[in-house]
Chains A and B, each alone.
Chain A
Amino acid sequence: MPDETNDDVPAPRGWPAGFGVGADREDLLRLTALRGTKPLDLHRLAWREGSARASVRAIAAGRAGTPGDRDRLDHVDGDEIASAVEAAGARFAGPGDADYVDRLLDLPDPPLGIFVVGTPLASQPPSVAIVGSRHCSALGREVATGLARGLAAVGLSVTSGAARGIDEAAHVGALAVGGRTIAVLGAGIDHPYPRAGRGFLSRILEAAGTVVAEYPPGVAPHARNFPARNRLIAAIATAVVVVEGVDRSGSRITADHALDIGRDVYAVPGPITSPLSFTPHELIRDGATLVRGPEDVLHGLGLHTARPATVPAPSLEGAELAAWDALEIPALADDVARRLRVSIPEAIELLTGLELRGLVRSVGGRFERRFRVAPPTSDEGSATVASATPDAG
């Protein structure tokens, strides 16, 4: 690539003064339509050339960017993008705009701008990202929902992607307690992924949430967009919690971005036999904070002074308590019957009784304890989000 920038010297934080502002905005929009040139290179180019217009010219002249992007520049019109953004009910925020929150500049490869729908990012409370596998387990889904509930309940917002699985569970959990969430798309702002996710994106927006994308309207969700999308999640959030992820998962990428820019990384352990536990366990081994419940995250953020609660032992007695104790790990009704020395109908009856009380669930024919969230009580939650977080707003 005919790029004369010295790769060893990182570009300064932020953007050059006046970059993409005012008359330079149209060329900035044109730059957002590029697909081949990496954000890191565009950021360097901006510092070398000083303005979006000059950057466009450098690419057009073949002094920077990829040949594909040089051709693409011929077809893109900043005004067209602007009107497509308007048609999608979205807005564009470039450097210097309120929606372009300062946190994004923590990235070595910040976005040229972001496309936004809903409540301004700057008005959202501090956010914790909850990420994990699209193909999550029932347990993972429940854990993500429970964490999101617990975090949203104290006034934090929750950031995640817009995919199924853990992403969806995180949004659902926060919305259930009236919390706010931020969904970051791996596609154009008019093209939520997955298609069936439209319903829940509108619920996010109704609940004063925000939907964010780095790409202009018309960009389809594509696997190569997701690693880049993940860096935005890391940047927007104060901390990242990984719930479930297989080896080499997208969650790992999000966690790596988070570590690169100094965000705290938390991970929820799972059964060591499950492939979905790979990423969280690897992160924990490498120093991420182990999470047993929202209290652990709140504690880490300095928001929750009380000792993190363990899974609260429900007030049970007799045979029900024995059945509960037998479920330290997910178990068959057969095993519970054997341990308690009761008949199989009795064991089924005990376990179903616990299930009806919301303490136990049946997953794939085995019974397991439900992940439970103890709502933070008022005397413990003396530190509120707004006062305790320096970078709020």
Chain B
Amino acid sequence: MYGRVTAVSLLGVGGHRIVVEAHVGRGLPSLTITGLPGAAVNDARDRIRPAVEHAGLEWPLRRVVVNLAPANLRKDGPGLDLPIAMSVLVATSQVPARAVDDVVFTGELSLKGELVATPGVLSVAIAAARADVRRVVVPAANGVEASQVEGLDVIAAPTLGDVVAYLRGTWTPAPPASAASTDRLDDEVDLRDVRGQLQARRALEVAAAGGHNLLLLGPPGAGKTMLARRLPSILPDMTRDEALEASQLHSVAGLLHGRGVLRRRPFRAPHHSVSTSGLLGGGATYLRPGEVSLATHGVLFLDEFTEFRRDAIEGLRQPLEDGRVVVTRAIGSVAFPARFMLVAAANPCPCGYADDPRRACRCRGDRVESYRQRLSGPLLDRVDLRLRVPRLTKQELIGIGEGEPSEAVRTRVVAARERQRARLAPLGVGANADVPGPIARRRFPMTADAERVLGNAVDAVHLTGRGFDRALKVARTIADLAGVDRVDRPHVAEALSYRHGVDDPEEARARAG
């Protein structure tokens, strides 16, 4: 007796179509799974029989062999519970073989035969559509998610019994919930809540407009976290493809929580105690995307930046350069997308009160130096905007009302991004921040006035070559916000103000020498 069904196995965020075949033959009752099953699949073996029996179906008291083909590909993910059960049900003729043609099954089973929410269903649905399958059977909790994929008939079933009833033609699934039940935009935080801090707000706008990474340096209570949290709210809305990619990553990590597709840009703020694999991705048995990937198309906020593990911070270089992260473990190697804007925040010194006009800093000089050194490193080369955020005094807060709402800022950001798109399309990058320095020097023309100011800064504030490039790119973004084609003096001057708070080691040496 033989049965076969189609399923999708996940590798990273991608899915591969696989065939699950079952043979029921003579011998002592047992279940063997062949074809490179991963840890999660092997784990399913003892779960499937009780699930089948609770669904009022019969488990064959014979020798059962399930094979996952092709045999050379490692299969993993809890979503294979349902296809394995279905292959056995087809083999024992409890489900007509013809009914499972052109259907992909995915879902984790409980002992009671319920289909529970399963990570990666969005990826399964995308892979199914790509393989020209027209129907997917998914757990009810993942119905909205799967129905985001166009051209796919989604059967969202609460239990294994319902799946069988559907295939026998005795149960009709409810149509999946509409897109209205996806995440709400109205609970989003808004820049309106930030009082004062005009300079920091402006820096946030420039960062958003040019895709520039940002470092905020300021004492506790200055509002660094509050500002960073609001960066997604002034970024342009995600495109359909961006939203799907971000949602897929959340789905694979099991973080979609019944939503369909993310509409808001992700904001990820891992605590500084996060492990390297938590930040970058990994896992011993099952490769999960890390925080850098979950922040894809959104913002990765690292508060207390200096407290993060050194190797975790070093590992950020690859995603910042390439927009993806390659996770390699004994069980294989997977590339996850990781294209995010970085906002790092830190105190200006170990005690936090350096340069505070009302509280004396009690840090020893050498400790401040070694602390600042932790802030310099090669990673900070990728951070174009560095800003000191002061804690405001009572006087400075007097008479300050609500700030400008995010929506107004976002309108300007969108316009600036639009200007960049036309210019940067031939370079294959999306934003000014992604343009390599030498190309920026060639492609971003400046007025003679602007060139003189930037040139003078090399001497006046010991601007390094890399600092020059960063200032030029930021100036280009400021000009884009102003709707100007040629970078002019005011743009350069403002750009030069965003290099405060952290010393380029070279700059510091030049000053001391």
Interface segment out of the listed B162-170, B290-298, B324-332, B354-362: B354-362
B348 in the interface (beta carbon within 8 A): yes
A258 in the interface (beta carbon within 8 A): no
Chain B proximity mask over A180-195: 1 for CB below 8 Å, otherwise 0: 0000000000000010
Chain A residue contacts of B185, Cβ below 8 A: none
Which residue in B199, B357, B482, B490 is a CB contact (below 8 Å) of A271? B357
A352 in the interface (beta carbon within 8 A): yes
A135-B497 contact, Cβ under 8 Å, with A356-B456, A358-B460, A365-B389 = no
Q: What is the CB-to-nearest-CB distance from B54 to chain A, in angstroms, rounded to a whole number? A: 63
Residue contact B198 to A364, C-beta cutoff 8 Å = no
A-B contact count (CB 8 A): 107
Which residue in A196, A274, A355 is a CB contact (below 8 Å) of B366? A196
Residues of chain A in range 362-393 having any CB-CB distance to chain B below 8 Å = 362-366
Chain B residue contacts of A333, Cβ below 8 A: 198-199, 497
Residue contact B461 to A356, C-beta cutoff 8 Å = yes
A335 in the interface (beta carbon within 8 A): yes
Residue contact B390 to A366, C-beta cutoff 8 Å = yes
List A residues at the B interface (Cβ < 8 Å).
134-135, 137-138, 164-165, 194, 196, 246, 271, 273-276, 330, 332-335, 337, 344-346, 348-353, 355-358, 362-366
Residue contact A344 to B202, C-beta cutoff 8 Å = yes
B396 in the interface (beta carbon within 8 A): yes
A365-B390 contact, Cβ under 8 Å, with A194-B366, A275-B359, A333-B199 = yes
Q: What is the CB-to-nearest-CB distance from B197 to chain A, in angstroms, rounded to a whole number? A: 7
Which residue in B360, B366, B388, B456 is a CB contact (below 8 Å) of A275? B360
Q: What is the CB-to-nearest-CB distance from B191 to chain A, in angstroms, rounded to a whole number? A: 13
Chain A proximity mask over B459-490: 1 for CB below 8 Å, otherwise 0: 01100000000000000001000100000001
Complex CA distance for A344 and B197, rounded to whole angstroms: 10
A344-B199 contact, Cβ under 8 Å, with A134-B365, A356-B457, A362-B500 = yes
Residue contact B497 to A362, C-beta cutoff 8 Å = yes
Given contacts A333-B497, A352-B493, 19 further A-B contacts (CB under 8 A): A135-B361, A164-B365, A196-B366, A271-B357, A273-B357, A274-B357, A276-B360, A332-B396, A334-B196, A334-B198, A344-B198, A348-B497, A349-B497, A353-B493, A356-B456, A356-B493, A356-B496, A364-B219, A365-B500
Residues of chain B in range 333-366 having any CB-CB distance to chain A below 8 Å = 348, 354-366
For B496, give the chain A residue with the smallest CB separation: A352
Chain B residue contacts of A350, Cβ below 8 A: 493
B494 in the interface (beta carbon within 8 A): yes
Which residue in B361, B365, B388 is a CB contact (below 8 Å) of A365? B388
Residue contact A332 to B199, C-beta cutoff 8 Å = yes
Residue contact B198 to A274, C-beta cutoff 8 Å = no
Residue contact A274 to B202, C-beta cutoff 8 Å = no
List B residues at the A interface (Cβ < 8 Å).
196-199, 201-202, 218-219, 222, 348, 354-366, 387-390, 392, 396, 453, 456-457, 460-461, 478, 482, 490, 493-494, 496-497, 500
Can you list 10 residue pairs at the A/B interface with Cβ under 8 Å? A134-B365, A138-B355, A165-B365, A194-B366, A246-B360, A275-B360, A332-B392, A344-B198, A351-B497, A358-B460
Which residue in B357, B388, B490 is a CB contact (below 8 Å) of A330? B357
Chain B residue contacts of A358, Cβ below 8 A: 460
Residue contact B396 to A335, C-beta cutoff 8 Å = yes
Chain A residue contacts of B366, Cβ below 8 A: 164, 194, 196
Chain A residue contacts of B461, Cβ below 8 A: 355-356
A364-B355 contact, Cβ under 8 Å, with A246-B360, A332-B396 = yes
Chain A residue contacts of B198, Cβ below 8 A: 332-334, 337, 344
Chain B residue contacts of A274, Cβ below 8 A: 357-358, 360
Complex CA distance for A363 and B496, rounded to whole angstroms: 15
Complex CA distance for A350 and B494, rounded to whole angstroms: 8
Residue contact B355 to A363, C-beta cutoff 8 Å = yes
